[in-house]
């Protein structure tokens, strides 16, 4: 089928195997998931590849497809990290923003407050944890190496 459809297997990065039975005795690991592209796809999206990510909940590892022509979206989702609450000033910032007076219906007020919290926390996070992304990347690399 791959030859008949003239598909191209993409180069893989990360873990070699995409599935495991997660057993200590009788351990089995296999490559069950692969990525293929057509020549037309590559003409539109340019140099493509995939990375096998760290397996967490499922017995299948997630596969991330990336393209040089697809930049990271500017509206990436905001993530609240649990460890922020260990920093005392986080709760103070949350209280200050949340209890500001806003106008509108209940849903409108909620949306305004969540947007305000997001803005304040993004600035606070950059000031309080300036190297958090670097530390996260290093920790992820360590986990991948151990795996």
pTM: 0.45
For residue 37, pLDDT beyond 80:
yes
Lowest mean pLDDT among 62-66, 108-112, 133-137: 133-137
| Matching residue, tokens 């008949």 | 4
Residue-level pLDDT at 145: 81
For residue 105, pLDDT beyond 70:
yes
pLDDT band at 64 (very low <50, low <70, confident <90, very high): confident
Instruction: Find out whether 136 and 144 touch, Cβ atoms under 8 Å.
Output: no
3-state helix, strand, coil in the chain (%, to 5): 40, 15, 45
105: tokens are 């219906």
What mean pLDDT, rounded, does the chain reach? 84
Residue-level pLDDT at 98: 92
How far is it, in rounded angstroms, from Cα 92 to Cα 115?
Answer: 17
Q: Indicate the DSSP class of residue 85.
A: G
Residue-level pLDDT at 80: 85
For residue 144, pLDDT beyond 70:
yes
pLDDT band at 113 (very low <50, low <70, confident <90, very high): very high
Tell me the three state secondary structure of residue 51.
strand
Tell me the three state secondary structure of residue 42.
helix
């Amino acid at each position: 089928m791959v030859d008949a459809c003239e598909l191209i297997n993409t180069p893989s990065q990360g873990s070699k195997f995409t599935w495991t039975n997660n057993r200590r005795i009788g351990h089995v690991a296999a490559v069950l998931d692969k990525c293929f592209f057509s020549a037309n796809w590559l003409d539109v999206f340019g140099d493509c590849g995939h990375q096998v990510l760290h397996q967490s909940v499922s017995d299948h590892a997630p596969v991330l497809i990336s393209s040089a022509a697809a930049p990271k979206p500017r509206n990436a989702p905001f993530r609240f990290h649990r460890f922020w609450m260990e920093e005392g000033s986080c709760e103070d910032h949350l209280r200050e923003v949340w209890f500001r007076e806003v106008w509108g219906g209940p849903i409108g007020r909620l949306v305004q407050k969540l947007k305000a919290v997001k803005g304040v926390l993004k600035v606070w996070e950059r000031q309080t944890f300036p190297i958090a992304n670097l530390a996260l990347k290093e920790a992820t690399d360590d986990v991948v190496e151990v795996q």
